[in-house]
Amino acid sequence: MNPNQGQNQNQQGQQMPQNMMNPNHGGHELFDAHEVIASLINMLDQYQMYAQHIQDPELQSIQQRQHAFVTQMYNTIVQSFSTGQDPAQDTQQYKMQQSNEVVYGIKPGQPKKPNQSVNELADKGLSAYMLGQTKTLATLLSMTALEMTNPVLRRVVADSVPNFIEMSYEIFLYQNKHGYYQVPQLQQKDMNQMLQSYTTAPQGNMPH
């Protein structure tokens, strides 16, 4: 990475220098960016297919809000990738609508098996597919941001990671509330033992 390139990073919304109009990209960065953009397209396409089968209005709302948000994110990343300048619209913050309450414990249920036809698609499986895609993109964007050389694209990609984390958590909470994603716990004594396995370290003065 060019050590002077970080000076061009736009932290205050100022216009990038003229020499960033045609941004420089490393080869590895180009491949990673293409993978990110293709994965965003894949998610958006898949979400449209899911919409035809979702029955629960609450899950429909999640699908619609996430699809609209990721569409805007896609446009932001494409603009940054193509120009190396700040996109027309800043990176937004996704706000989920689920409560943070988690149901703990395992209840017996029917064993899972693959569907035999698309007619068997249901909200339980559809929400799981959605969760798999948001989790995959959270991981992919994190790894990609670490390999970026262009400062604007790096910042836009990095700023998008918390949004996919939030979308994943929203879908998890929906699944957990409906019993689709159950959360086992350790026995209380084992949990307490693990919680007490560490202690804080003495902290000296921070270097100036």
Which pLDDT band holds residue 1 (cuts at 50, 70, 90)? very low
Q: What is the pLDDT of residue 10?
A: 46
Helices (H), 84-198: 123-145, 151-177, 188-195
Q: Can you tell me whether residue 86 is helix, strand or coil?
A: coil
Q: What is the mean pLDDT of residues 150-164?
A: 94
Q: Can you tell me whether residue 104 is helix, strand or coil?
A: strand
Which pLDDT band holds residue 129 (cuts at 50, 70, 90)? very high
Q: Is the pLDDT of residue 150 over 80?
A: yes
Q: What is the pLDDT of residues 181-200, one digit of tens each?
A: 999 999 999 999 999 999 99
Q: What is the pLDDT of residue 110?
A: 85
Distance from C-alpha of 139 to C-alpha of 133, rounded to nearest angstrom: 10
Distance from C-alpha of 141 to C-alpha of 158, rounded to nearest angstrom: 7
Distance from C-alpha of 88 to C-alpha of 76, rounded to nearest angstrom: 7
Please report how many Cα atoms fall inside a 13 Å half-sphere around the Cα of residue 178, on the Cβ side.
Answer: 16
User: 3-state DSSP helix/strand/coil percent for the chain, to nearest 5?
Assistant: 60, 0, 40
CATH entry, 27-103+121-181, from 1.10.287, 3.40.1130, 1.20.1260, 1.10.3470: 1.20.1260
Q: What is the mean pLDDT of residues 136-164?
A: 94
Q: What is the pLDDT of residue 147?
A: 87
Q: Is the pLDDT of residue 20 over 60?
A: no
Which pLDDT band holds residue 65 (cuts at 50, 70, 90)? very high
Q: What angle do CA 101, 104, 108 make, to 5 degrees?
A: 135
Q: In the chain, what are the domain boundaries?
A: 27-103+121-181
Closest CA to 147 of 37, 27, 43: 27
Q: What is the mean pLDDT of residues 66-84?
A: 93
Contact 32, 147 (CB under 8 A): yes
Contact 151, 9 (CB under 8 A): yes
Rg (alpha carbons) of the chain, rounded to whole number: 21
Residue 61 vs residue 15, higher pLDDT: 61
- The token duo for 99 is 């409560």
Which pLDDT band holds residue 22 (cuts at 50, 70, 90)? low
Distance from C-alpha of 152 to C-alpha of 24, rounded to nearest angstrom: 11
- Sequence-separated (6 or more) residues with CB below 8 Å from residue 135: 164, 168
